[in-house]
Amino acid sequence: MMDEKDIEDLQSSDVDKIKTILGTFNTKYATLFDFTEFNISGQWTTIWNAFFANLRDSSKTALYPQLLNSVRILTRDEQCIKVNNILPDFNCLLDLADLGPEKLTNPCTHTTETSIEALKCLCNIVFLSSDCRKVCIKNSATERILKRVSSPNSHPFEIEFYDMKLLFLITALEPITRTKVQIDLNGIFFLTEWLDMKLSLEEKSEQQIDLICEILKVMFNVTSNPDRSPNENEIQNRRLTAVIRGLLYEFGSLETEKHRNVVSNCVNLLTNICTSCLVELITRPGVGEAPENVYEGKCIRSLEILLRFLKSMLDDKEGNPIANDCLAPVLTVLINCARCCPVMRHYIRQVVLPPLKDVSHRPEVGDELRNHLCRFLTIPEMIIRDLSAELLFVCCKENVTRMIKYTGYGNAAGLFANRGVLDCRRIENTEYSSDSEDSDTEEYKEMQHGINPVLGCFEKPKPSPLAGMSEEQKEYEAMQLVNLMDKLHRSGVVQPCRVGEDGKPHPVDHILQLQEELPQQQFDQKRKT
């Protein structure tokens, strides 16, 4: 809390006393987040009003940075921000950040340090107050930010960084602004060109990398507009995809955490790009392009980076909970790429599902991409499970037999049930090239006869448990099994099903109903052999 004498001095016109009080306040409360004492005493409102009375005094401009630093400390108090009417003060901060309505025509009138501190305060308030966010929508603050972005004049890094922070918060918390930025203000165009300009810098400091991440986050928000068709503005989307490709080339080494952050934000943004535009991720190979980056006449460096990023996320999944959040976007992008064109699908399949050699272990055992994805097929996390299944299925050209070959029927049963192909029929109405991408290795052919299709691996022959039993004993054991399953059914532990005409599982009322399918199953088996 502040002494009464200090509050009186803060409300005076003595600049030296005010400066001393501000210095003490900023040092003492630099890390304060609990404002209980200020709220109980009522000092928060008194101090806040004193700060803004000084900020409105043009004779005290030298104190503005210190005053705004103090205001930023108070803006951490969510309760007071929401309870008090701070809209006039919020407009004052917009003016100090050169984001007020009149700033669309007038040049900047405040020092860089003042604008930076005002932007920090605005970020805190916009995050906490919906009323203040609506002010930003009405007074063209977003328009002013984009005007700074498109300006040929350079601005200090901090101004650009907190401009993007503020725009990110507005577009994230007020979805209505996404349409305004994307359509009315042509924001995607300006942000894409600005991003390309940052990419063209010869030296990229850590600060510039942080700024690139903020730009990508804003663009993700703006392109997440549910009211817009993903196929609209295809030329703009192709241009954006090409810039993202350049970012992947630049930061795809994943050497540092900041590089990984850039790639992660690129992946997030790619999830909002229409599938047809993803073809811009692959190009004609340039002069001197490394042979390992060329596949079927195309440079596939960006796909290699995405797959390597996926592998790094899979390796970090157990020890890093954040990695799990990154899996869904990169899996989505790879699925869309695989659907985009045959070249991309061929390359992704080559990496994810290489020709089988060692089939002595189950598909889910190992550290390769196929092993990781097969493990996901049976996890309770629905999003990761379904995306992993979809990627594998698309790599198999939605061919059920091929899917069983690479994953085992047991792992893929959930996908087959959802798709209505539990009876192992091929999905209809799929558009894939007719080329065969399967070339069984000699190792696979040697062990193919002993592969258990349910497990997806070679299984040594086992003696029959019915060997040596008489027909009466076999019938007795069969009835025991039926009775046990019926008991589990009636107690609600299990729900037996059979495959219907639609290829999906349907519950049965009694275990003996399963016998009705035996003749058809036996016929199908004879036809296959």
Contact between residue 60 and residue 45 where contact means Cβ atoms under 8 Å apart: no
Higher pLDDT, 446 or 212: 212
Q: Which two tokens stand for residue 481?
A: 């099994």
Percentage of residues of the chain with pLDDT beyond 90: 48
N- to C-terminal Cα separation, the chain = 86
458 backbone dihedrals φ, ψ, rounded to 5°: -70, 135
Question: How far is the CA of 499 from the CAs of 255, 425, 453, 482, 517, in angstroms?
Answer: 50, 12, 18, 19, 9
Residue 104: what pLDDT? 46
> Using H for helix, E for strand and C for coil, what is the string for 376-401?
HCCCCCHHHHHHHHHHHHHHCCCCHH
- Asked whether residue 529 carries a pLDDT value surpassing 60, the answer given is no
Instruction: Please give the C-alpha separations between residue 45 and each of 7, 35, 79, 80, in angstroms, as whole numbers.
Output: 12, 12, 12, 8
Tokens of 401: 């037999």
Which pLDDT belongs to residue 271?
Answer: 95
Listed ranges 64-68, 391-395, 439-443, 516-520; the one with the highest mean pLDDT:
64-68
The predicted structure's pLDDT at residue 230: 54
Note the pLDDT tens digit of each residue in 112-133: 999 999 999 999 999 999 999 9
The listed range with the strongest mean pLDDT (27-36, 98-107, 405-414, 464-473) is 27-36
- The radius of gyration of the chain's CA atoms, rounded to the nearest angstrom, is 31
Nearest of 434, 414, 430, 431 to residue 422 by alpha carbon: 414
pLDDT recorded at residue 349: 93
pLDDT-wise least confident of 281-285, 300-304, 495-499: 495-499
Beta strands in 421-464 (DSSP E): 451-452, 457-458
Residue 448 pLDDT class (50, 70, 90 cuts): low
Instruction: Give the span between the Cα atoms of 517 and 513, in whole angstroms.
Output: 8
For residue 78, what are the CA distances in angstroms to 31, 36, 129, 424?
Answer: 15, 11, 8, 57
Q: What is the amino acid identity at position 226?
A: P
Neighbours of 147 (CB within 10 A): 15
pLDDT at residue 439 greater than cutoff 80:
no
Q: Show the beta-strand stretches assigned E in 196-350.
A: 294-295, 298-299
Per the CB < 8 A criterion, the answer to whether 54 and 74 are in contact is no
Closest residue by Cα to residue 425 from 529, 484, 499, 335: 499
CB atoms within 10 A of CB 353: 23
Closest by CA position to 389, among listed 331, 305, 315, 344? 331
Query: Which of 354, 340, 382 has the alpha carbon at shortest distance from 444?
Result: 354
Compute the mean pLDDT over every residue in the chain, rounded to the nearest whole number.
Answer: 85
List, in sequence order, every residue forming a beta bridge with 294; answer none if it has no partner. Answer: 299
Q: What is the pLDDT of residue 235?
A: 86
C-alpha angle 116-122-127 in degrees, rounded to nearest 5: 135
pLDDT of 203 > 60? The answer is: yes
Burial class for 455, CB neighbours closer than 10 Å (0-12, 13-18, 19+): middle
Look-up of token digits 């942080």: 210
**Across residues 74-80, what is the average pLDDT?**
93
How far is it, in rounded angstroms, from Cα 281 to Cα 283?
Answer: 7
Cα–Cα distance between 364 and 84 in angstroms, integer?
A: 57
pLDDT for the residue 322: 54
Residue pair 210/162 in contact (Cβ under 8 Å)? The answer is no
Mean pLDDT of 492-497: 76
Q: How many CB atoms lie within 10 A of CB 312?
A: 17
User: Nearest CA to 306 among 278, 340, 264?
Assistant: 264
Q: Helix axis angle, 157-173 relative to 141-150, nearest 10°?
A: 140
pLDDT (average), residues 303-316: 90
- CA dist list (Å): 139 to 45, 94, 114, 126, 132: 25, 10, 20, 14, 11
With 80 as the cut, is the pLDDT of residue 465 above it?
no
**Mean pLDDT (whole number) for 363-372:** 88
Please state the separation of Cα 41 from the chain's center in Å: 44
The confidence score (pLDDT) of residue 433 equals 62
* pLDDT for residue 227: 61
Residue with the larger pLDDT of the pair 251 and 511: 251
